[in-house]
Amino acid sequence: MSEWPDGMDRFLAAAGWGEARIEAIPGDASFRRYFRLERGDQRAMLMHAPPPHEDPQPFLDVAAYLSAHGARAPEIHAAEATAGWVLLEDFGTDRMRDWLDANPAGEMAAYEAAIDALVTLHEQPPGPFAAYDMAVYQREAGLLTEWYCPALGLAVDEAGYHTAWDAVLQPLMARQSPGVTVLRDYHAENIMLLGGSPGPPQGLIDFQDALVGHRAYDLVSLLQDARRDVTPELERAMLDRYVAATAADSEFEADYARLGAQRNAKIVGIFTRLYKRDGKPRYLELIPRVWALMERDLAHPALAPVARWFDANIPAALRDSGGGHIA
């Protein structure tokens, strides 16, 4: 199996899967690789998250927390974190995104189930994870000025950018304490429909970057999806469903807009970086959708300082064209 990563044979043999048939799964936006294994009528998933670029230990830690608190994370069969190997339960191929493509009439039910799963998660004590603090918010938002602006040849006021974000985000910091577990990439491509249709059990994947933060963040991730259109009407209905089921305060929707703008600015920067640094141009076609969502968030009064910065630093022609053309 010379085409496989070094150490795979040894790890699989030690885990009792040395004779399994192996199928590589196409990669996405990280250095992690996944392989589907078959051994008779048994199936498993192999993750390779090699250091120094990746570390599977956070995945293992978050999986343990989720499993202990009523959520459905993959069962871990074997792991060698220092070498980047994790053998885990195979949740199959029924992603919420693919199910929706085949069953558009079921969209409301699918999103209701996803919202209800978040409500349940947010009823649990937050996990033993780092805080989603101002330094993290600023570092993420800064990806826009670090990668997008240079790619468009824009000389911008970076200090003013961070000052504006401080003003916008500071009001929500007290409202995210003690906080909830924030999965950070909770959207239709990372939700597995284990029963083959919406509703529990709902499998979770790609949660290794979890932090403790604001309850609105994962709603933004789900409802302002970079990869799939969610209508404003559906977004409104799902926000109402979440608010009705929780103790969300009167500032919840303002915080939702704050975090929406922050997340979408981050994603524009990440997608630009994936192209400019990593040679992955396919993410550029997603930027106009993300930009439109960011513009909608910037229109909220709570975003006024950041909106003024955009007015002063990003030409209207670029904004009107969904971020412009990145060469």
Residues with Cβ within 8 Å of 105's Cβ and at least 6 positions away in sequence, in order, are none
| CATH level 2 (architecture), domain 8-89 | 2-Layer Sandwich (3.30)
| CA pair distance 63, 204, nearest whole angstrom | 9
Q: Once rounded to an integer, what is the mean pLDDT over residues 275-295?
A: 97
What would the pLDDT profile of 149-200 be if each residue is shown by its tens digit?
999 999 999 999 999 999 999 999 999 999 999 999 999 999 999 988 888 8
Please give the mean pLDDT across all residues of the chain: 95
Helices (H), ranges, 82-177: 96-102, 107-122, 134-141, 143, 149-151, 158-173
Looking at residue 1, what is its pLDDT?
42
Evaluate whether 202 touches 193 at the Cβ level (below 8 Å): yes
Name beta bridge partners: 72: 203
Residue with tokens 């996405």: 28
Backbone angles phi, psi at 39, to 5 degrees: -135, 95
Name beta bridge partners: 42: 39
Q: Once rounded to an integer, what is the mean pLDDT over residues 241-260?
A: 95
| CA pair distance 303, 257, nearest whole angstrom | 8
Q: Once rounded to an integer, what is the mean pLDDT over residues 285-302?
A: 98
| CA pair distance 283, 276, nearest whole angstrom | 11
Domain residue ranges in the chain: 8-89, 96-320
pLDDT level of residue 29 (50, 70, 90 thresholds): low
| CA pair distance 122, 218, nearest whole angstrom | 10
| CA pair distance 215, 252, nearest whole angstrom | 9
Looking at residue 2, what is its pLDDT?
52
- Determine the CATH number of domain 96-320: 3.90.1200.10
Kindly tell me if the per-residue pLDDT of 224 is higher than 60: yes
